[in-house]
Amino acid sequence: MKGSSKVVDALNAGLTIELTAINQYFCQAKMCHNWALHILGDKHYGESMGEMKHAEWLIDRILFLEGVPEIARYDVIRVGDDVKSQFEYDLTLEMKGCDTYREGIKVCYDENDPGTRDLLEKILVQSEEHVDWLESQLELIEKIGIQNYLMSQMGPHVEDAH
């Protein structure tokens, strides 16, 4: 089914965010595990896999609309050199993603594509949930201090628990 080029462009804009996030969160997961912050490492890993699922949905929709997925486009990947900077970089990326999806949803209304709009709304809701979680972690760091926060993230690695 041939789709609107504007809609395909909006999908590719979202794909850029997702591909960036996959790499950023995956690297952060490995860093946190290296620092023995296994709870947080597992959370970053799960987020990376969630972003991979979003990328899959976007690619599938682009192909359905007979477009070409632009998989070589990335935003700047910022991993941070400590947990607080990781959260700040992630928050910036997720907020950019939310803005990108809101703009894409408007394009879908204008181009009369409710199927793509539904997909973008689903991803937007999940992105907003991640924004909320990141904001909560940064607030928690401010309330209890970074050392106490880091201690709370030192539980067993999920793979070690089996």
Indicate the annotated binding residues: 18, 51-52, 54, 94, 130
Note whether residue 160 is domain-resident. no
H-helix or E-strand spanning residue 97:
helix 83-110
Residues of each annotated binding site for heme b: 52
* CATH code, 102: 1.20.1260.10
Q: Which of 31-40, 56-65, 71-80, 128-137 has the lowest mean pLDDT?
A: 71-80
For tokens 């947080």, the residue is: 40
Q: Which residues contact 122 (CB under 8 A, 6 or more apart)?
A: 57
User: In sequence order, what are the residues at sequence separation of 6 or more whose Cβ sits closer than 8 angstroms to the Cβ of residue 160?
Assistant: 38
Q: How far apart, in whole angstroms, are the C-alpha atoms of residue 113 and residue 27? A: 35
Mean pLDDT of the chain: 95
User: What pLDDT, on the 0 to 100 scale, is given for residue 162?
Assistant: 36
* The amino acid at 151: M
Other CB atoms within a 10 A radius of the CB of residue 159 amount to 10
Distance in angstroms (rounded) separating the CA atoms of residues 48 and 101: 18
In a domain, 157, yes or no: no
Higher pLDDT, 58 or 156: 58
Query: Rounded CA gap, 93 and 16, in Å?
Result: 11
Q: Which residues of 5-31 are buried (b: 16+ CB within 10 A; e: fewer)?
A: eebbebbbbbbbbbbbbbebbbbbbeb
Q: For residue 36, what are the domain limits?
A: 3-151
What is residue 1's predicted lDDT score, i.e. its pLDDT? 83
* Portion of the chain with pLDDT greater than 90, in percent: 90
- Look at residue 161 in the predicted model and tell me its pLDDT: 45
Query: Is 161 domain-assigned?
Result: no
SS3 69: coil
For 5-27, how does the pLDDT look when each residue is reduced to its tens digit (9 = 90+)?
999 999 999 999 999 999 999 99
If you compute the radius of gyration of the chain from its CA atoms, what whole number of angstroms results?
Answer: 17
Domain count for the chain, please give it: 1
| Residue 60 CB coordination number (10 Å) | 13
**Cβ–Cβ under 8 Å, residues 94 and 127:** yes
Give the C-alpha separation, 45 to 158, whole Å: 11
For residue 18, is it within any domain?
yes
Residue-wise pLDDT tens digits, 33-47: 999 999 999 999 999
Which residues define the annotated binding site for Fe cation? 18, 51, 54, 94, 130
